[in-house]
Structure 1
Amino acid sequence: MLSYLTQRLASTILVMTLVGIFVFLLLHFSAGDPAAIIAGDYATPQQIVAIRQRLGLDDPLLVQFWRWALRVIQGDLGVSIFSNTPVSVLILQRLEPTLSLALLTMMFAVSIAVTFGVLAAWRVGSLVDRVLMGFSVLGFSMPAFVVGYALIYIFAIELRWLPVQGYRSIVEGVGPWLLHLILPTLTLGLAYVALIARMTRASMLDVLEEDYIRTAKAKGVATRTMLMKHALKNAGVPIVTVVGIGVALLIGGVVITETVFNIPGIGRLVVDAISKRDYPIIQGVILLFSGVYVLVNLLVDLSYTLIDPRIRY
């Protein structure tokens, strides 16, 4: 068990190191002189030189990376070029909307998808199975922005049940906070539901063919107990795996969804930074998203030892 944990932690550190190198080189791989790109088209040579000196771009690449890495380890992600505000402060200001949307989407998607997958496997080949899997294919095939605009048109413009865009902090009340997140959650969660539901169905079908399941049926074990306690638990490893993999889908969808629904989160922050070529913000957000993805997958790997004790040995 200790050896397994050590290997997973070592691989996590290695991955984050490689991500850090890529993020650092992002500025230097951009076409043209980074200082000239930051300064803009109408900058004077003196302004470009000043930017190069301020960012330390005249130093050797290895020195620049070492200086940048030390700052990152200490939590300093740099300063925004245009707003002159620390990147960590900007991220913290936008964290609540993104965190609210991501957590609500994950809870919604996992609960709905696992239910759909179990029902489809239980009624394999039936109308229920075909409808649920058809819904999954449709949900995974439709782009998030198309789903988002369709939901806005139906539920916000035509029916006027929900707000069109924007975000309300949870400190203003759970009701307004939830109302503004229903449509974004449905938009972001649709593809996530489809992915997890299909994997749940496939994993459950494999388990339902096992001898101990047939024995449980022969002994008259209740269907609910048989599905949830025996089958689903033993089908858990592939399901948890795809949940972790889907975090990448979730992170990418946050950027699109926040743009469609005008949510002032980290996704909108990085879109604005890309349009302005504010490299410190872009680097900081990529590091944050990469760290979250690596951490979630580390937790998924560690959860295997709880689901399947054989992995501990």
Structure 2
Amino acid sequence: MINFLAGRLAVAVPTLLLVSILVFGLQKLLPGDPALALAGEDRSPEIIAFLRAKYQFDQPLPVQYWSWLSAFVQGDFGLSIRTRLPIGTMIAEKLPVTIELATLSMLIAVAIGIPAGIIAALWRGSILDHAVSLFGLAGLSIPSFWLGIMLILLFSVSLGWLPSGGYVPFFENPLGNLKTMAMPSLVLGAASGAIIMRHTRSSMLTVLKQDFVRTARAKGLSEHVVVVRHALRNGLIPVVTLGTLQFGQLLSGAVLTEQVFGIPGFGKMIVDGVFSRDYAVVQAVVMCAAGFFLLMSLLADLAYAALNPKLRG
């Protein structure tokens, strides 16, 4: 297991380094000069030259990259050009929002996807199977921003049950928090639930054909015991891995969903940073998102190894 962890970490470090190079380099290809945006209406040559020197925009790209990466590795994410606030503080404020949204979305996805996938596998070819498969196809096909708008029209505009957007901290108003997070969590949970459902169905169909399941039935065990104790335990192993990766994607930030509902999380933060040419914010958020995803990938591998004794060694 130690060798396994060392191997995964040996892959993660170069991956993060590659991500840092890509996000830094691609941002420099964006049109516009951040110094001009910062100068505002008073775009005198002196002000522009001062801003370029202050934020090292006048330095060669390798120098800019090394200066940023060195500070980032030491935990100094820099200051936001737009707000003048420490980026680490901004991330600390946005991270709990994104974690809550990802957790609620994942709970909805698991509550929908796993039971639906099991039902579809046990009654393969039936009306239930076709209905569940239709749900999965719809969940994968419907754009999240369109579903979000439709939910707003239904539950906010027509029925008036839920607020159309915004965010209320949980400890200030728990009920208000759940109301503001209900629709965005459902939007993200529906898409992830469809993916989990399809993989659960496929995995269960494969396991139900295995010899150990036939042996369990030949021993006279009830169908409930065969499914729950034998088939389900082995069928959910790849689903656990998939769910962990899905959670990592949700932690990386759901850009469109957060924009539609005005959720102040990672997704909205990176969009605001791109539009304002706030390079330091975009770089920090993307690096944190990549780190979260790699961490979830590592946890997924550990969970797979824990659930599958063949992989322990």
- Structure 2 partner of 1:57: 57
Paired residue type of 1:143: P
In structure 2, how many angstroms separate the alpha carbons of the residues matched to 1:150 and 1:27? 34
- Structure 2 partner of 1:9: 9
- Structure 1 partner of 2:262: 262
% identical equivalent positions: 39
Flag the 1:231–1:33 CA change in 2: closer, same or farther, 3 A: same
Flag the 1:154–1:34 CA change in 2: closer, same or farther, 3 A: closer
- 1:173-205 Cα offsets, whole Å, 9 max, x none, are 332221221111111111111111001100110
Q: Which moved more, 1:72-81 or 1:250-259?
A: 250-259
Determine whether 1:227 maps to 2:220.
Answer: no
In structure 2, how many angstroms separate the alpha carbons of the residues matched to 1:41 and 1:217? 78
SS in 1 for 2:171: helix
Q: Is contact 1:38–1:277 with CA below 8 Å preserved after alignment?
A: no
In structure 1, how many angstroms separate the alpha carbons of the residues matched to 2:250 and 2:22? 22
Note the C-alpha offset of 1:22.
1.8
- Structure 1 partner of 2:29: 29
In structure 2, how many angstroms separate the alpha carbons of the residues matched to 1:252 and 1:69? 20
- In the alignment of these two chains, the number of paired residues is 313
SS in 2 for 1:129: helix
Q: Which moved more, 1:106-115 or 1:50-59?
A: 50-59
Root mean square deviation, CA, Å: 2.2
- Structure 2 partner of 1:114: 114
In structure 2, how many angstroms separate the alpha carbons of the residues matched to 1:253 and 1:227? 36
- 1:45-98 Cα offsets, whole Å, 9 max, x none, are 222221221122344433332221121112211111121111111222222222
- 1:99-156 Cα offsets, whole Å, 9 max, x none, are 2111111122123211111111111111111111111101110000111111111122
Note the C-alpha offset of 1:38.
5.4
Note the C-alpha offset of 1:253.
6.5
Q: Is contact 1:38–1:278 with CA below 8 Å preserved after alignment?
A: no
Flag the 1:306–1:252 CA change in 2: closer, same or farther, 3 A: closer
Matches within 5 A, 1:192-231: 192-231=192-231
Q: Is contact 2:253–2:265 with CA below 8 Å preserved after alignment?
A: no
Structure 2 alignment gaps of length 5 or more: none
Flag the 1:38–1:298 CA change in 2: closer, same or farther, 3 A: farther
TM-score (norm: length of structure 2): 0.92
Determine whether 1:85 maps to 2:89.
Answer: no
- Structure 1 partner of 2:73: 73
Determine whether 1:170 maps to 2:182.
Answer: no
In structure 1, how many angstroms separate the alpha carbons of the residues matched to 2:191 and 2:180? 20
- Structure 1 partner of 2:303: 303
Note the C-alpha offset of 1:33.
5.4
SS in 1 for 2:271: helix
Paired residue type of 2:280: P
In structure 2, how many angstroms separate the alpha carbons of the residues matched to 1:34 and 1:152? 35
- 1:253-272 Cα offsets, whole Å, 9 max, x none, are 72111111122222222222
Flag the 1:51–1:125 CA change in 2: closer, same or farther, 3 A: same
- Structure 2 partner of 1:142: 142
Matches within 5 A, 1:219-298: 219-247=219-247, 250=250, 254-298=254-298
Structure 1 alignment gaps of length 5 or more: none
Q: Is contact 2:103–2:247 with CA below 8 Å preserved after alignment?
A: no
- 1:213-260 Cα offsets, whole Å, 9 max, x none, are 122223333333322321122123421333244346535772111111
Q: Is contact 1:192–1:250 with CA below 8 Å preserved after alignment?
A: no
Flag the 1:99–1:251 CA change in 2: closer, same or farther, 3 A: closer
Paired residue type of 2:210: E
Q: Is contact 1:94–1:265 with CA below 8 Å preserved after alignment?
A: yes
- Structure 1 partner of 2:191: 191
- Structure 1 partner of 2:105: 105
Q: Is contact 2:251–2:292 with CA below 8 Å preserved after alignment?
A: no
SS in 1 for 2:194: helix
